[in-house]
Structure 1
Amino acid sequence: MNRMLAAIGLSIIVAGQLTVEAQGQMAPVSRTSIVERTGLFLMAGDYRRALEACEQAIQERPSAEAYLQLTYVYQAIDAYLDQLSKDESWMAVEQLYLNLAYRHTEDLVDPPGGLARMAKEMIQTSVRQQSDVSAAMAVRLNKATADRLWQEQAQWRHTHPTEWWRAFPDSWVR
């Protein structure tokens, strides 16, 4: 009985997350649902999946908006690390590192290692570099849109200075 319930639950989750076309290929997920899903990952602190969702959006429909959302997630990771460092929450830094490093179940038997402070420096260096790259790509695609989204995110950061990285600006989700 438990196995049957687990199988039903799993099939509901899979069916709810993926839209499969008749030929068995995954259909593109709507832009809004990707933004909403990424927002949920940000709220949960699941930055790896937030990055993956943004990368999926770029793969499916490249746009200035998609690149700036990816940039936002990179910058959110950077700001979150800064806050954790100020709070001396090194256990949380290590958890973030593990969240970003673990990809597959094989990682459970061969886990990535690293000291929290060293992990913080490595992650921040990487996300800052990638943030610059994705921001430049957004500007190349549509400078006017990129400028507008930068203003919206600057306002969001100003009104939520200690936790802006937990969510996209409200105007991006509507």
Structure 2
Amino acid sequence: MISETVEEHRKNSSENISCGVITLSDTKYRDLQNNEKTDTSGEYLFTELKKNYEVSDYQIIPDESDILLKTIENMINQEIDVIFTTGGTGIGSRDITIETIKPLFEKQLDGFGEIFRAKTYEILGSAAILSRATAGSYKDALIFSMPGSPNAVKLGVSIVIDELQHLVKHLKE
């Protein structure tokens, strides 16, 4: 059941949402340099977002904090409203996404990670504890960070895609 207030907010939300996609992967970045397209997750995000929103930028970068920060800043300078990252959220030594972006957050959207892990638990069981999916606001943008697997990206985008206009409306208030 959706409340009348939520419905009213949705009706009064901007329809012009600009999105950016960042894939963090040493392998996919190397493949891109060799003219190979192997970024299934980033391409899925791009395609799904494009159905309802403008996708202004899509980057594949290596797992490097300084490059991630620069890419985020560039997207914000392009006035992108919502940035999606995929990859680099695990617990391996090269997984730097969460440690890089969490300190940026002015407000954290804990519900995204909580819902993501709950739904992942329904599918994978206790392996869901490996997920560090998170979201928050930084400057005038929302950032959603998800694991790199295609199934994780499909799940993550399904949680928020219909709510982006509402979320951006509140961010811009």
- Taking structure 2 as the reference length, the TM-score comes to 0.33
**Structure ID, larger Rg:** 1
Length-normalised TM-score, structure 1: 0.33
